[in-house]
Structure 1
Amino acid sequence: MDISSLNIKKILIIDLAFIGDVILATPLTRAVREHWPTAEITMLTVPLTEEIAQMNPYVDGTIVYDKRGAHRGLSGMWSIARELRRYKFDLAVCVNFALRGAVVAWLARIPYRLGYDAQHGGLFLTWAASHIRKGIKHETENHLEVLEPIGLSTKDLSMRLIPPEKAISSMEEKYGRYGIEKGQYYVVCPLGSYERKNMPMPMAAQLIRELSKKLPVYLIGGKGEKIELDGYAKAGSLPDGHVFAGTLSLQELAVFIQNAAGLATVDTGPMHIAQAVNCPTAAIFGPTDPKVWGPRNENSSYLYSNEPCSPCWGKGECKDNICIKKFKAKDLYEKL
């Protein structure tokens, strides 16, 4: 079937993964937009990542699939599928390996459905791409593989987010409230999605102290990381009010990172946000592979010791976390 011969006017991109994954799918959405410049492109996301998808310049709108709440279970899947039918999408692109996206697209009666063959997803798809990755390459390139069955790609692999005016205005108010000068502060994100990604506290504390000699330093993280981040701030001798733990929306966070002099981080969502808003970034990697997940912008770099046991995704038998601990604060400081 020749995709160019089809009358595609409304496209649904289904991405039900995490913050970083939705950002890393930017080249995929760009490729779709380049091929169908006048189509209406909507992204189906989970509640957490809706704000991220709304900043994607190649997406016209978002729909939320609350798979752990209002759309939980099989009845919830039927419910979201019925909702999607009303939009009369012509094409669905299922970005993730999980079967859920392909099933929802099928239940929504979207006539053309593209996705991966993982977990028998091909049974519900018009075109199925192989889930077996073709070598080790960056995740932005991996995402593009789902488009291969219909012959689409893009030469521009950059990530891009554009914060909305409401987030910019909101951050302007916060800058005034906290006495923060745009472009004159560093951001440090020391905690990842699991413990073995984290910066050791002695390293982070020394990094904070060194950066603070040049510009004010602010720590960022999730609401549930507040106590731990307060400990990092205390160890680094930061004054009160220099920890933002779940106090900024994701769109405000994008503005905050965009206006920073630089970000020092572990492998986590804010690192990908920084790449998408072109903030200079220095990242430290251990249990994950920077060739797949690392920063790629010309103003960014990373540290990676390439231990024989890495990447282990935090599931290895190592108890010393040597892949992270072998680096010193000065190593990351010099990178930044």
Structure 2
Amino acid sequence: MKILIIHTAFIGDIVLSTPLLKRIKEIYPEAKITYVTTPIGATILRNNPNLTEIIEYDKRGNHSGIKGLINLGRRLRYENFNLVLTLHRYLRSSVLSWLTRSPQRIGYDTASGAFLFTKKINYDKNKHEVEKILSFMGEIPKLPRKDYPVELFPGKKEVETIDRIWSENKLESQKVIAIAPGSKWFTKKWPLEYFNEVIDLLVNNDYKIVIIGGKDELFLNIKVQKNVIDLRGKTTLLEVAEILKRTALVLTNDSSPIHIASAYKTTNILAIFGPTVKEFGFFPWSENSEVLQVENLSCRPCAIHGGNKCPKGHFKCMLDIKPELVYKKILQILERK
């Protein structure tokens, strides 16, 4: 059985698809699974034992434009896949599925180009994203999260890198808190001055802080001080996963660290939701998680991905979540642990 997964969405979406790999192996233990994703998506999937091959779909490079899409489709067609699962709902992914000429091509009924699939499944907005994705292999009644966890696999290189960072900063016996202040969307970012207030409170109480993020987050004016280790732009995604595996708690916006941290049972997640809501299905899959949000705010949600500015101009969904509240919530969670 040769199975192809096509998913070229954001990092968090790719992470949330990993339970599907376990489900496929339950049904087809000998299956060879190929995963087509973005170059950055490929980095988070590396070392996954359920995958036979990862193919990078570089829409801005080797596979740009219609010609690039057709060339990739031609390559995939030669593989003679028995089944293609298209988790992404954009037209390019639907066309790529069709170009494989696989006899079974499954995708969402709401996808652009859904007519190119041989079978369409219901995109149920009321389900968590993991549950939606698992439905590609049939419904699972009373789905227990622990049976289909998010799984990431930092390798020897990633572990050694974080071992060195932990040793240099004497973090081995410390309760370490990770803070992820970034997001692609402005309105999904809790204010930086709020993050800095929380960092001050934690440092004053002898907690060690690790700041995580990509190169884009280097432009965020986070206060770096004693007991704050700034790793923005210095780590790969699997190194971030290894960091989050070792931390007691991660404080994050509604962004990919939520989903990366969900791979680890001992890591607590405190997620701040502003313009988005849990009902979109992208809340933490981990059971050791809490979401802070402003309840009963009539303008929430305003967009599924957030935006570049508050449509109402007041930004209450974020400004009304005060640093003192977040700090107290962090202490409550750590005391429970």
Q: TM-score range by the shorter chain?
A: 0.7 to 0.9
Q: What is the identity, as a one-letter code, of the residue corresponding to 1:171?
A: I
Taking the aligned partners of 2:299 and 2:135, their CA distance within structure 1 comes to: 27
Give the equivalent residue in structure 2 for 1:4. Answer: none
Distance 2:48 2:325 in 1: 33
Aligned-partner Cα distance in 2 for 1:241–1:206: 13
**Alignment match, 1:301:** 290
Provide closer, same or farther for how the CA distance between residues 250 and 182 of structure 1 changes in structure 2, counting only shifts above 3 A: farther
2:328 to 309, 317, 334: 334
**1:185 aligned residue (176, 180, 186):** 176
Alignment map for 1:141-180 (pairs within 5 Å): 141-148=131-138, 155=144, 156-180=147-171
Q: Verify the 8 A CA contact 2:3 2:31 in the aligned structure 1.
A: yes
- Structure 2 Cα separation of the partners of residues 94 and 43 of structure 1: 10
Partner of 2:259: 272
Structure 2 counterpart of 1:201: 192
Q: Structure 2 CA distance, aligned partners of 1:192 and 1:325?
A: 16
Return closer, same or farther for 1:210/1:56 CA change in 2, 3 Å cut-off: farther
Out of 259, 265, 269, the position equivalent to 2:246 is: 259
Matched-pair contact (CA < 8 Å) for 1:185–1:217: yes
d(CA) in 2 for partners of 1:120, 1:328: 40
Aligned residue type for 1:102: S
Is the 1:182–1:259 contact (alpha carbons within 8 Å) kept by the matching residues of 2? no
Match of 1:125 in 2: 117
8 Å CA contact 2:274–2:318 kept in 1: the answer is yes
Deviations along 1:71-105, one digit per CA (max 9) or x if unpaired, are 00111011111222343322110001112222112
One-letter code aligned to 1:185: V
What percentage of aligned pairs have identical amino acids?
A: 32
- Cα RMSD of the aligned pairs, angstroms, is 2.3
Which segment drifts farther, 12-21 or 78-87? Answer: 78-87
- Secondary structure of 2:262's partner? helix
- Kindly report which structure 2 residues correspond to 1:1-336, keeping only aligned pairs within 5 A, or say none: 9-119=1-111, 121-131=113-123, 133=124, 135-148=125-138, 155=144, 156-181=147-172, 184-212=175-203, 213-228=205-220, 231-234=221-224, 238-239=225-226, 242-278=229-265, 279-291=267-279, 292-306=281-295, 307-313=297-303, 314-315=306-307, 317-336=311-330
Structure 2 portions without partners, runs of 5+: 331-337
Q: For 2:238, what is the secondary structure of its paired residue?
A: helix
Could you state the TM-score of these two structures normalised by the residue count of structure 2?
Answer: 0.86
72-81 vs 47-56, which deviates more?
A: 47-56
Structure-1-length-normalised TM-score? 0.87
In structure 2, the CA distance between the partners of 1:320 and 1:191, relative to structure 1 (3 Å rule), is farther
Q: For 1:81 and 1:304, how far apart are their aligned partners in 2?
A: 43
Gaps of 5+ in 1: 1-8
Quick one: distance in 2 between partners of 1:173 and 1:240?
Answer: 16
2:117 partner amino acid:
L
Counterpart position of 2:335: none
Identify which range, 180-189 or 68-77, moves more after superposition. Answer: 180-189
